[in-house]
Amino acid sequence: MKITKIYSNDKRFREVVFNDHFNVILGEIRQQKNLNKDSHNLGKSTLLQLIDFMFLKEIDKNHFLKNKVFESHIFFMELLLNDGRHLTIRRGAEKNTQISFKFHNTRNQNFSQESNWDYLDLPLTTKDENRNPVDLLNRFLSFNVLINISYRTTVNYFFRSQNDYSDVFRLSKHKGRDLDWKPALFELLGFDSKCMIEKYQLEQEKDRLQNNIEDYKKNFEIDAGERDKISGLIEIDESKRKEILIWLDQFDFYKTEKTLNKDLVEQIEKEISICNSQMYDLKYEISQIQESLVDNSKCNFDEVLQVFQETNIYFPSALKKTMKI
């Protein structure tokens, strides 16, 4: 991949055309009236920031393109890809999160008035890999080194500012976690970064758990007086618990069950006795009835009548009836 051209829709921005070989950006003061000025403030670093911007770096409010002077500027960067095609990237200073791509076969084009784009206004912040311009550009570049790492991780080593030379490997942009840059550099040197990534992940988990522990200590911290009070309450409850355990151990369920069994037996025996007495009486009455039924003795009504006559008791003839027994 090579950068072949950078230009803008604003003609005040002079086109920057790169050749196929070594390119040097040289700042010189040529006007006689400016010879006493500093040659280190002519825009070389600004151009570097612009190239980084066109490689889809996210910018903050302190970026130079946030200046109102650049509100209407739209920039274009033309790349020569590894497959021989050219790719032009369009990105505006005002709507800097909308990215457009266009493929073409001819070099040194100007698409500042172009309306037909292969990918139009892709959102820089989308999570959709098929619409995220960084993911798409990563595929278009087709780097065969560190294929599992985005080009944004390695491209920073080519956009070094003066502050990035104090440490060869740690750039000023790497203010965050070592996990964000060390594994990529480790693989670039030919090593397997898997173990390093696991190490940093474990360290992060350790730090997270340690912070949780500190938060818990802080949230549940009590003074010495409260601690003694709580200890005293615990001792009281422990003493009550021991008393209950002793009482439970001493409680004799056998005696209680034995008393219950005795009362039950006596009650049942009493009921049996009553039932036996009733059964005896019933048997006696049944026996008497049976004996009376089998008695063949005949009643002499003449004798009965005589008895009634002797006693002068009126005995109506209607009550007299001959019965055969």
Give the whole-angstrom CA distance, residue 288 versus residue 174: 122
* Averaged pLDDT for residues 78-105: 95
Question: What per-residue confidence (pLDDT) applies to 318?
Answer: 47
The residue among 209 and 221 whose pLDDT is bigger is: 209
Statement: the pTM of the whole predicted model exceeds 0.75: no
> Residue 150: exposed, middle, or buried by beta-carbon count in 10 A (0-12, 13-18, 19+)?
middle
Question: What per-residue confidence (pLDDT) applies to 317?
Answer: 55
Question: What per-residue confidence (pLDDT) applies to 117?
Answer: 96
Q: Distances in Å between the alpha carbon of 124 and those of 56, 98, 99, 104?
A: 8, 6, 7, 22
pLDDT for 212-269, tens place per residue? 888 887 777 666 677 778 888 898 888 888 888 887 777 666 666 667 777 888 889 8
The residue among 283 and 247 whose pLDDT is bigger is: 283
The residue among 128 and 166 whose pLDDT is bigger is: 128
* Averaged pLDDT for residues 280-301: 79
The residue among 204 and 156 whose pLDDT is bigger is: 204
- 119-123, strands of its sheet edge to edge: 16-17, 2-8, 74-80, 86-92, 98-104, 119-123
Which residues, 6+ apart, have CB-to-CB distance to 71 below 8 Å?
93, 94
The residue among 75 and 220 whose pLDDT is bigger is: 75
The token pair at 105 is 């076969």
pLDDT of 21 over the 90 cut? no
pLDDT for 100-117, tens place per residue? 999 999 999 999 999 999
| Model confidence band, residue 306 (pLDDT cutoffs 50, 70, 90) | confident
* Averaged pLDDT for residues 29-35: 66
pLDDT for 131-185, tens place per residue? 999 999 999 998 887 777 788 888 877 777 777 666 667 766 656 677 777 887 7
Residue 3 CB neighbours (<10 A): 16
Q: E strands of the chain, at which residues?
A: 2-8, 16-17, 74-80, 86-92, 98-104, 119-123
| Model confidence band, residue 325 (pLDDT cutoffs 50, 70, 90) | very low
Q: Are 72 and 58 spatial neighbours (Cβ–Cβ below 8 Å)? A: no
Question: What per-residue confidence (pLDDT) applies to 96?
Answer: 94
Percent of the chain with pLDDT over 70: 82
- What is the identity of the amino acid at 221? E
